[in-house]
């Protein structure tokens, strides 16, 4: 089986480079924590004064409504690419 075989799911089509599999649950938990914690800290600092008078449920709703898209669409794809780069670099070293 050729490394550049596009029908081989373990390779990237046409590049010959091995694909990095999905993260295990521990790696995913760390990636989520690395994305969520700083996002919530920054959001609390940025919009905390505006939502301080809301009750805890409304404040949590506002923070989650802003944080989830930032984490899912902004940070997690970058963390997945960083993880793939690190694992690929380690495999070739």
Domain ranges of the chain: 25-92
What average pLDDT does range 3-31 have in this prediction?
A: 69
- Considering the entire predicted model, what is its pTM? 0.74
91: left (phi over 0), alpha (psi -120 to 50) or beta: alpha
Q: How is residue 6 written in tokens?
A: 């596009």
Per-residue model confidence as pLDDT tens digits over 49-71? 999 999 999 999 999 999 999 99
């Amino acid at each position: 089986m050729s490394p550049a075989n596009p029908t081989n799911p373990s390779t990237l089509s046409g590049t010959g480079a091995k694909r990095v599999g999905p993260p295990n649950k521990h790696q995913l938990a760390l990636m989520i924590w690395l994305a969520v914690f700083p996002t919530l800290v920054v959001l609390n600092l940025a919009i905390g004064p505006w939502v301080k008078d809301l009750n805890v449920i409304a404040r949590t709703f506002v923070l989650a409504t802003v944080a989830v898209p930032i984490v899912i669409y902004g940070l997690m794809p970058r963390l997945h690419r960083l993880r793939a780069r690190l694992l690929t670099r380690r495999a070739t070293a």
